[in-house]
């Protein structure tokens, strides 16, 4: 099957190497938008192997990448106007950083790919440009001792590759450091929204049905009145945790993501209190604070996985306290809310 980004082939002594476009097509852009919304994300792959941009020869640079198409697309776009080789590792369709954490973007796979694609004969030099975040899985000295290739860690972001090459393979501290600016956080939010999957329908539906309960039995009128409010409150708490908290992350007080989420969730709850969305009964109001706080806090805590600066030890410490409190609060809130149906 011929992929749209393959524009031709380069002949080498070891057979043809696909030549790829360094410009994104409309289909690449559309697929990127879809994958940012978590659609087809785990099947968004390119075939591992050797590729070419421009017309590389035995002196051209070799860039190593993952076979997640979004990673590969960013690299080939950054190589616009350059004659280079791209060595794509089999990372099971996972991006460089995550795959390196799992070891699939790793020393063994890199060494194997160097051998499979006869890199020793394709190029005369002995340098490989590996994305810096790949260092989590790649041991440069091991690659050197087993293959003779020197791993040069390139910049974190592909858009810095041009300057990196011009400055003789030197990445500035700025190019090496991972920040987490608003622009990056916004890109992650769509995937966060899809986190709840079918629970996003199931949980509000259960609340809606339960909302019809009243001291006299069941009425569809109260389902509409109280259930409608419940659905709004639940969705708002969800979005507080997975949209508002990531968006305003640096400006929300507290270090713990769960407390950041709780803060935003309760701010929304206070706002809703004044909008009369939490009901008039004090028990129902308290129940909503518990439920909304728990949901927002949990979703915000989940964003640690997408953030670029949280450590395993830190998240474990945070969760030890937060997770039981979140579960307890949600359960208590649910019970409280059901009880208020009957008073």
Partner 1 sequence: MKQLTYLKDVVTLELDQQKCNGCKMCITVCPHEVFEFREKKAFIKNKDQCMECGACEKNCPEGAISVRSGVGCAAGIINGILRGSEPSCDCSGTSDKCC
CB of 292 to partner 1, least distance (A): 19
Q: Count other Cβ atoms within 10 Å, centred on residue 294.
A: 27
Distance CA 15, CA 32 (A): 31
**Which CB sits closer to partner 1, 88 or 98?**
98
Burial 164-185 (b: 16+ CB within 10 A, else e): bbeeeeebeeebeeeeeeeeeb
Nearer CB in complex with partner 1: 52/143: 143
Give the C-alpha distances (Å, rounded to integers) separating 150 from 106, 142, 147.
15, 10, 9
As given in the structure block, the two tokens for residue 174 are 């700025």
The distance of closest approach from Cβ of residue 268 to partner 1 in the complex, given in angstroms and rounded to an integer, is: 21
For residue 77, the minimal CB distance to partner 1 (Å) is: 22
Instruction: Identify which of residues 39 and 286 has a Cβ nearer to partner 1 in the complex.
Output: 39
Query: Residue 294 Cβ, how far from partner 1 at the closest point, in Å?
Result: 14
Task: Please report how close the Cβ of residue 289 comes to partner 1 at its closest, in angstroms.
Answer: 22
Residues in Cβ contact with 147 at an 8 Å cutoff, skipping those fewer than 6 apart: 111, 114, 115, 119, 120
Shortest Å, Cβ 300 to partner 1: 9
**Residue 19 CB, nearest distance to partner 1 (Å)?**
27
Which of residues 55 and 102 has its CB atom nearest to partner 1 in the complex?
102
Binding positions for partner 1, rule: CB under 8 A: 41-42, 92-94, 98-102, 132-133, 135-141, 153, 156, 171, 173, 176-181, 249-250, 255-257, 301-302, 304-319, 323
Nearer to partner 1, 41 or 146 (CB): 41
- Give the nearer residue to partner 1 in terms of CB position, either 39 or 277: 39
Least CB distance to partner 1 at residue 317 (A): 5
Q: Which is nearer to partner 1, 78 or 301 (CB)?
A: 301
């Amino acid at each position: 099957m011929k992929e749209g980004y393959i524009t031709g082939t380069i002949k080498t002594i070891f057979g043809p190497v696909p030549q790829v476009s360094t410009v994104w097509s409309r289909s690449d852009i559309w697929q990127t938008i879809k994958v940012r919304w978590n659609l087809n994300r785990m099947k968004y792959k390119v075939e591992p192997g050797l590729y070419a941009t421009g017309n590389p020869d035995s002196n051209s640079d070799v860039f190593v990448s993952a076979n997640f198409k979004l990673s590969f697309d960013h690299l080939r776009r950054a190589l616009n106007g350059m004659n280079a080789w791209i060595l794509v590792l089999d990372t099971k369709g996972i991006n460089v950083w995550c795959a390196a954490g799992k070891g699939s973007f790793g020393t063994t796979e890199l060494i194997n790919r160097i051998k499979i694609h006869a890199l020793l004969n394709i190029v005369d030099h002995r340098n490989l440009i590996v994305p810096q975040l790949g260092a989590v899985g790649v041991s440069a000295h091991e690659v050197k001792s087993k293959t003779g290739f020197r791993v040069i860690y390139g910049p974190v972001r592909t858009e810095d590759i041009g300057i990196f090459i011009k400055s003789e393979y030197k990445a500035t501290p700025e190019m090496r450091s991972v920040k987490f600016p608003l622009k990056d956080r916004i890109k992650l939010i769509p995937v966060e929204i899809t986190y709840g999957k079918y629970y996003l329908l199931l949980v509000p539906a259960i609340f809606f049905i339960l909302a019809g309960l009243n001291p006299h039995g069941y009425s569809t009128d109260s389902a509409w009145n109280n259930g409608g409010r419940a659905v709004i409150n639940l969705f708002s708490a969800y979005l507080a945790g997975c949209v508002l908290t990531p968006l305003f992350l640096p400006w929300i007080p507290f270090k713990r993501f769960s407390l950041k989420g709780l803060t935003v969730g309760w701010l929304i709850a206070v706002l809703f209190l004044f909008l009369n969305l939490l009901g008039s009964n004090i028990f129902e109001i308290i129940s909503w604070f518990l439920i909304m706080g728990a949901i927002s806090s949990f979703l915000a805590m989940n964003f640690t996985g997408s953030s670029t600066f949280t450590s395993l030890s830190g998240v474990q410490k945070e969760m030890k306290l937060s997770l039981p409190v979140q579960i307890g609060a949600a359960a208590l809130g649910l019970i409280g809310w059901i009880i208020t149906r009957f008073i």
